[in-house]
Structure 1
Amino acid sequence: MLMNRYLQKRMLRGEGMGDLVASKPKMHMLHTCPFCWKVRGIAELLNIDYENVQINAMKTKKELKFTDGWNKVPVWTESDGQVVVDSTPIMKHIDSTYNDGKLWKVDDIARRDKWMEWVDTKMSKATVPILYGGLFSALQTTTRVSKLEKFGFISKRLYAWAGFPIMWGIIARSRVKKDGRKPKQLWHDLLTEFTDSFNGEPYFGGTEPNMVDLAAFGYMRSISPFPQFKKLEDHVDGIEWYQRVEAFIQR
């Protein structure tokens, strides 16, 4: 297995392999969080050995108290204790630290920044409607989340059965009503707009995915554990791009 550049630098500073193994970075996360999926994608692509710390969704304030009030996942902690918060800054930090910033470097900075903001604004807000936009789909989602996340015995059942009317009735319905499109149509429109920006290339980044591809992939991938993902598979260009990114990460 090839050692990444970050580990090579640490070895040159005289740190043994035992030190590296004992002091790997950590990511505090929720399994179903779309922002965590963004970070997981870049960490997988760069083959970073890190520890996943799955927190209790009902105890984020307590378990993330070391963030000085941030209290949101993901949180990335380097082996030297450096704490980085917020998914896009974490992705940039990981790229810079472990990959010489290659995924963020582009010739057309304005295009990159415009679409990174678009992905973080449009796609992030589209995840809730697709998962919770209907009463039955909301129940499916909260039931699935209760099994995937780290809950206590009572809180798991409370979230599954009391959470879905809140997510559906208060949050998802308001977003659907504000946008005016059904969740599936919203996602199909977003995937069309995004893939049309590739200028004939297989990825937004050209011949290989870049940071924008990975961010968009993370949001879409966060829906994959749920039945609603089938609604996204109907979009031919979108699912073909998704599968290309997935294969690139897993190669």
Structure 2
Amino acid sequence: MRWLALTTSACLSQAAYLSYKHLEQRKITRTRSWFSFVASNSEKKEMVNIQLPLRRIKENDKLELIQYATCPFCNKVRSYLDFYGIPYTLIEVCPAFKPEMKSLTVKKKKVPTVRICEATGTETVLQESSQIISLLHSYQIDSKSSETFSSLAVHFRQITENSDDQIAKYTIKNYGLDNQEKFRKELEWRKWADDKLVHVVAPNIYRNFAESIETFRVITAKGNYGYDAYWAKPLTFMATWFGSTFMCFVIAPRLKKKNKLNENVRQSLYEHVNEWVAEVGEKKFHGGDSPNLADLAVFGVLRCMEDMEAFLDMLEFTEIGPWYGRMSKLCSKNSKQTHFRQTSKQS
């Protein structure tokens, strides 16, 4: 009986490995096609009207984004910062110990977290992706320069105290009356990205065991799993094999059932993506000639899947490619990420 169990385990492991290698080779080929597509689109002289906010963040104000590289909510915030060319320091958190978050003054050590150190010495710590984006945008379009990060943080803390109000975190304080229709549509699709789109991500990237292993290889390659610390390799190994098993066989099925996704979860991903493509229509972006906050929210959620099989399937079997390519080009071009701060080396 023991030999049967060992033989079965060996066969399953070998099957998973071969399936993973097949996916890996297929991914390499398709990734090359994707980058070729982006490059060819980049060569086209398209005029994109980027309507930058009226107010820029002060040069002496320091902004840090504390994140997990493959977190969809972190990618939403990063997409906003990149598109608007806001200088920031990116701090990748080690999920096992979170030493990068020990100095934070907030109780909950969660990502994304944005820490803003103003030249006056005031420190503001922000959490919850949609609220972070709303606060930053409220600051940037404040043409009278009457708001500070700390005053806006107080404002958003007050209006979001009622947990039943699901709209407050999407409000932009300095939108004028002439922008109300724009705000309504923008809010509707920002909320859709949080309530609908994000929930199809995990069941798709952990769809089966081979894909789950591939996903964790991407996560550990992009994330902070100790870098060159002595415990980095054991942590990476455990995250890849135990994490992929747990996510594939426990979490993904629960999320699939909870969010009432199709039996074939890829189909749910395609349906949601096609819903967004239909909303954008013939325009370059949801915001018209320039991306709005809805564009950045949807792009951020989908961006977290880059280099994964689900992402390549999405590009192949939906019409999202042209819009996604434009968004990727703009965010990469405008990004002012100052440097990638690695802190776990010394841990």
- Whether TM-score is above 0.5 comes out as yes
1:174 paired residue number:
254
Q: Give matches, 1:90-101, under 5 Å.
A: 90-100=132-142
Given that 2:209 and 2:248 are in contact with CA atoms closer than 8 Å, whether structure 1 keeps it comes out as yes
In the alignment, the residues of structure 1 paired with residue 332 and residue 241 of structure 2 have an alpha-carbon distance, to the nearest angstrom, of: 36
Matched, 1:6 2:86: no
What per-residue deviation string (whole Å, max 9, x for no partner) do you get for residues 163-212 of structure 1? 11110111112223441242321111001111212354222222221001
2:211 is the counterpart of 1:151: no
Q: Which structure dedicates a bigger proportion of its chain to helix? A: 1
**Contact kept in structure 2, 1:75 and 1:83, CA below 8 Å:** yes
Q: Distance in 2 between matches of 1:168 and 1:61?
A: 28
* Residues 232 and 64 of structure 1, relative CA distance in 2, 3 Å threshold: farther
* Paired position in structure 1 for 2:210: 136
Say which of 152, 166, 186 aligns to 1:112.
186
Q: CA deviation at 1:228?
A: 2.7
Aligned equivalent of 2:277: 195
Normalising by structure 2, report the TM-score. 0.62
Higher mean alpha-carbon deviation, 175-184 vs 159-168, is at 175-184
Q: Quick one: distance in 2 between partners of 1:64 and 1:70?
A: 10
Q: Which amino acid aligns with 1:160?
A: T
**Structure 2 residues not aligned, in runs of 5+:** 1-51, 144-171, 227-231, 334-347
SS at match of 1:129: helix
Q: Find the aligned partners of 2:92 and 2:209 in 1 and give their Cα distance.
A: 28
Structure 2 counterparts to residues 47-126 of structure 1, below 5 A: 47-60=85-98, 63=101, 66-80=104-118, 81-100=123-142, 105=175, 106-108=179-181, 109-126=183-200
Contact 1:74 1:85 in 2 (8 A): yes
Between structure 1 and structure 2, the one with the greater Rg is: 2
2:298 alignment partner, one of 208, 216, 221: 216
Which residue of structure 1 aligns with residue 19 of structure 2? none
Mapped partners of 1:224, 1:210: distance in 2 = 21
Partner of 1:172, secondary structure, is: helix
Give the alignment partner of residue 30 of structure 1, picking from 62, 68, 72. Answer: 68
Q: Which amino acid letter does the alignment assign opposite residue 142 of structure 1?
A: F
One-letter code of the match for 2:243?
G
Identity across the alignment (%): 23
Count of residues in Structure 1 that have an aligned counterpart in Structure 2? 237
1:156 aligned partner, one-letter code: T
With the length of structure 1 as denominator, give the TM-score of the two structures: 0.84
Q: CA deviation at 1:149?
A: 1.4
Q: How far 1:50 sits from its partner (Å)? A: 0.8
> Once the two structures are superposed, what CA deviation does each residue of 1:48-93 show, in whole Å capped at 9, x if it has no partner?
1111111111124872562532221110111231111111111112
Partner of 1:162 in structure 2?
A: 242
Asked if the contact 1:191/1:235 (under 8 Å) is kept, the reply is: no
Helix, strand or coil at the partner of 1:59: coil
1:250 & 1:61 partners in 2: Cα distance? Answer: 29
Query: Letter of the aligned partner of 2:124 in structure 1?
Result: Q
Distance 2:328 2:317 in 1: 16
Q: Tell me: higher relative CO, structure 1 or 2? Use CA pairs within 8 A at least 6 residues apart.
A: 2
In 1, Cα distance between equivalents of 2:103 and 2:197:
29
Contact conserved, 1:43 with 1:94, CA < 8 A, in 2?
no
Q: Which runs of 5+ in 1 are unaligned?
A: 11-16
Q: Which residue of 2 aligns with 1:239?
A: 321
CA distance in structure 2 between the partners assigned to 1:183 and 1:131 by the alignment: 10
